[in-house]
Amino acid sequence: MVWLAGVAIALAGPALAEEPINGRWAIDPQGCQIDGDTSETAPLYVTDKTLKWWVADCRIGKSYKVGNALYIQARCSNEGSRQSISVKLDLLSRDRLAVTWDGGKTPDMRRCK
According to the model, what pLDDT value does residue 69 have? 97
At 22-59, the pLDDT tens digits run 999 999 988 898 888 888 899 999 999 999 998 999 99
Please check the confidence at residue 78 and state whether its pLDDT lies above 90: no
**How many folded domains does the chain comprise?**
1
Structural domain boundaries enclosing 89: 18-111
Nearest to 47 by CA among 83, 79, 74, 14: 74
> Which are the contacts of 32, defined by CB distance < 8 A and separation ≥ 6?
24, 26, 43, 110, 112, 113
Residue 6 lies in a domain: no
Residue 11 lies in a domain: no
Residue 1 lies in a domain: no
More confident residue, 18 or 19: 19
According to the model, what pLDDT value does residue 10 have? 38
**Dihedral sign for Cα atoms in the order 88, 40, 22, 58:** negative
More confident residue, 92 or 5: 92
DSSP assigned state of 6: H
According to the model, what pLDDT value does residue 1 have? 47
- Beta bridge mates, 73: 86
Please check the confidence at residue 14 and state whether its pLDDT lies above 70: no
Region of residue 6 (phi > 0: left; psi between -120 and 50: alpha; otherwise: beta):
alpha
Residue 33 lies in a domain: yes
Determine whether 76 is exposed, middle or buried from the number of CB atoms within 10 Å of its CB (0-12, 13-18, 19+). Answer: buried
Mean pLDDT of the chain: 86
Residue 24 lies in a domain: yes
Residue 96 lies in a domain: yes
Contact (Cβ atoms closer than 8 angstroms) between residue 49 and residue 60: yes
CATH number at residue 105: 2.40.128
More confident residue, 35 or 104: 104
More confident residue, 67 or 18: 67
According to the model, what pLDDT value does residue 2 have? 41
Residue 80 lies in a domain: yes
